[in-house]
Structure 1
Amino acid sequence: MFKLALVDDHDIFLKGLQKILEYEDDLKVVHSFKSGQEILNNISDLDIDILVLDVQLPDIQPEELLQALRSKLPNLPILYLTLLRGTRFFHKLQKFNIQGYILKDSPTEELIKAIKIVANGATYFSEKVEIAGFEDEYKNTVIYADQKVNDILSPREIEVLKLVCQEYSSADIAAKLFLSVGTVDTHRKNILIKLGVNNTVGLVKYALKNNIIT
């Protein structure tokens, strides 16, 4: 059971979201706030697993609110909500440890999925976000942080990943590892799914970040 707090200044949206989440057995809304100041006034009483936060509140700038939240709750997973595509807010929010970013007009199923993913310690970014410089391999993907590579990938998958990053084709990898091309393709697909990336660029970035290749 994940405990949530919701923050939105639009009463209809706030109550509607609460009603929708009531039908989820593993989600429970324990707090709802209509302003940034309201959540800051109650921050010491928060015992939640995720905060679903509207980035545009009339009483406080998003950077100011997030700085205050992060000073008290540095590790709290936050899923950011917005109405705007291509908003400049995204890049400003990156420095405050973004775990999720989703548009308010997203399908209900996607929002629920995003909430559960972020509450589980992963990140989720909606594919509808249209922001220059926001790379495609991170859209609509799940990226788990603070997990050792060996906990995510098998030894064989790590071998395949290294060779993929060295620009070997599936046929070349199959020959090197004495596998069939079909088996190699299956490994590649599973690696993409496990790491939550969509293409080879994402694999290379992951491998570099985790010192799988240098």
Structure 2
Amino acid sequence: MAELTKEREREPIRVLVVDDQELFRRGLTMLLGAEPGVEVVGEAGDGVEGTTLAERTAPDVVLLDIRMPKRSGIEACLAIKEAVPSAKIVMLTVSDEEADLYEAVKSGAAGYLLKDSSIEEVAQAVRVVADGQSLISPSMAVKLIDEFKQMSRPERDHTAGLRLTDRELEVLRLVARGMNNREIAKELYISDNTVKNHVRNILEKLQLHSRMEAVMYAVKEKLLDLP
């Protein structure tokens, strides 16, 4: 009974939809609005309007297309994160290009989904990133890792990486495979909260801001034993 009461009292996740394709945008807004625990607070047709609306509504989650007029999704992501730091950004796009994915991560996106995802997958992404996690499909996670592996630095400093414990490196490897906290907890036979603590410690030690940035750093610094 207490859990049910807590569920009723929980505020809905406030979502802003930004996409220049009106039919897609309206359809997504309608479908998300029917999802329990989700409230669509606005929609915009370009990056400039989306940034302005984000400042006005302070959404929890912003769904952004990458290819948009006036201001691209990547540029809008940077502007929205600066204006509303608490907002979580999910790129929802037709682009499966590694470069777009990489730029999205660098710009602070917490999620990356393709537009052929089901409404259930989009709604799940909204809930996951609102909870402080990152989300990309496993296939895109592989592309992200491949892109990171192409990067190189003339000088490498492994000091920060060496501060990670064996368990933290294990968690990081699973994050790199596109697994969320619940999946990692199941894989390692530990609790969700323990996974969250490990991820928080990893970010603090590496002085990074997101799970995907941690993977980027770890692959670049060769801290992970990836194929």
Task: State TM-score, norm by structure 1.
Answer: 0.64
Indicate the residue corresponding to 1:133 in structure 2.
147
Offset of residue 89 of structure 1:
1.1
Indicate the residue corresponding to 2:152 in structure 1.
none
Question: How far, CA to CA, are the matches of 2:78 and 2:97 in structure 1?
Answer: 22
Q: Percent of aligned positions with the same letter in both sequences? A: 23
Alpha-carbon contact 1:125-1:138 (below 8 Å) kept: no
Offset of residue 143 of structure 1:
4.7
> In the alignment, residue 84 of structure 1 is paired with which amino acid?
S
Alpha-carbon contact 1:2-1:27 (below 8 Å) kept: yes
1:1-214 mapped onto 2 (5 Å cutoff)? 1-129=12-140, 131=143, 132-133=146-147, 137-143=175-181, 189-191=188-190, 195=195
Question: How far, CA to CA, are the matches of 2:119 and 2:51 in structure 1?
Answer: 28
Offset of residue 8 of structure 1:
0.5
How many residues matched? 164
More helix by percentage = 2
Alpha-carbon contact 1:37-1:59 (below 8 Å) kept: yes
- Secondary structure at the aligned position of 1:90 is classed as helix
Structure 1 gap segments, 5+ residues each: 145-152, 154-185, 197-202
Alpha-carbon contact 2:46-2:70 (below 8 Å) kept: yes
Alpha-carbon contact 2:15-2:40 (below 8 Å) kept: yes
- Secondary structure at the aligned position of 1:191 is classed as coil
* Alpha-carbon spacing, 1:192–1:97, altered in 2? closer, same or farther (3 Å): farther
Task: State TM-score, norm by structure 2.
Answer: 0.61
- Secondary structure at the aligned position of 1:101 is classed as strand
Please identify the structure whose Cα radius of gyration is greater.
Answer: 1
> In the alignment, residue 133 of structure 1 is paired with which amino acid?
E
Offset of residue 58 of structure 1:
2.2
Indicate the residue corresponding to 1:166 in structure 2.
none
> In the alignment, residue 38 of structure 1 is paired with which amino acid?
E
* Alpha-carbon spacing, 1:71–1:208, altered in 2? closer, same or farther (3 Å): closer
Question: How far, CA to CA, are the matches of 1:107 and 1:127 in structure 2?
Answer: 15
Structure 2 gap segments, 5+ residues each: 1-11, 149-172, 206-227
Superposition RMSD in Å: 3.2
| Post-superposition CA distance 1:52-109 (Å, at most 9, x none) | 1112112223343222222212231111111122341111122222211111111222
Question: How far, CA to CA, are the matches of 1:27 and 1:138 in structure 2?
Answer: 28
Alpha-carbon contact 2:102-2:147 (below 8 Å) kept: no
> In the alignment, residue 141 of structure 1 is paired with which amino acid?
M
- Secondary structure at the aligned position of 1:122 is classed as coil
